[in-house]
Amino acid sequence: MTLETTQKTLLRWHEMLQTRDMSILNELLADDVMFRSPVAFNPYSGKQIVYFILTNVIQVFENFQYHREFYSHDGNNIVLEFSANVGDKKLKGIDMIQLNEQGQIIDFEVMIRSKSGLEALAEQMGQRMQNAIP
């Protein structure tokens, strides 16, 4: 994969967040995508569940903003640093994204700090996922 492909994917990602057009996510996620949550030990696998998680997280986060982005030498991996609020709790985190040769997301791992921000996110997402995920 080329850095150009990676940058094109990232441009679409930012466009999706800016316009709130979550249908763009369908083209960005590979069918076998894996999502590694900051609160769940086991990863979530498959486009449908990862789509659900990401579209809901975007609704839970307030004042979401990316600050920096980093690329691996091979262009297959991106790290995005972000901040957001969940209610009155502030959090910082990173999205670690791995792409396949077509520029689709195959692995999406999130790490978040502080504990209070992570707990607020876990509570909000837990409520949304309670009946949606077996």
Which three-class secondary structure string do you get for 61-115?
Answer: CEEEEEEEEEECCCCCEEEEEEEEEECCEEEEEEEEEEECCCCCEEEEEEEEECH
Closest CA to 129 of 35, 5, 4: 35
- For 96, other C-beta atoms within 10 Å of its C-beta total 16
Q: Are 49 and 41 within 8 A, CB to CB?
A: no
pLDDT of residue 1: 66
Q: Examine residue 114 and say whether the peptide bond preceding it is cis (omega within 30 degrees of 0).
A: yes
Which residue ranges form the domains of the chain, and what is each CATH number? 3-129 (3.10.450.50)
* pLDDT tens-digit series, residues 86-114: 999 999 999 999 999 999 999 999 999 99
End-to-end Cα, the chain, rounded Å: 35
For residue 116, give the 3-state DSSP assignment: helix
Structural contact between residues 9 and 68, judged by C-beta atoms closer than 8 angstroms = no
Give the pLDDT confidence score for residue 2 in this predicted structure.
81
* pLDDT tens per residue, range 34-48: 999 998 889 999 999
Helix (H, G, I), strand (E, B) or coil at 43: coil
**Mean pLDDT score of the chain:** 93
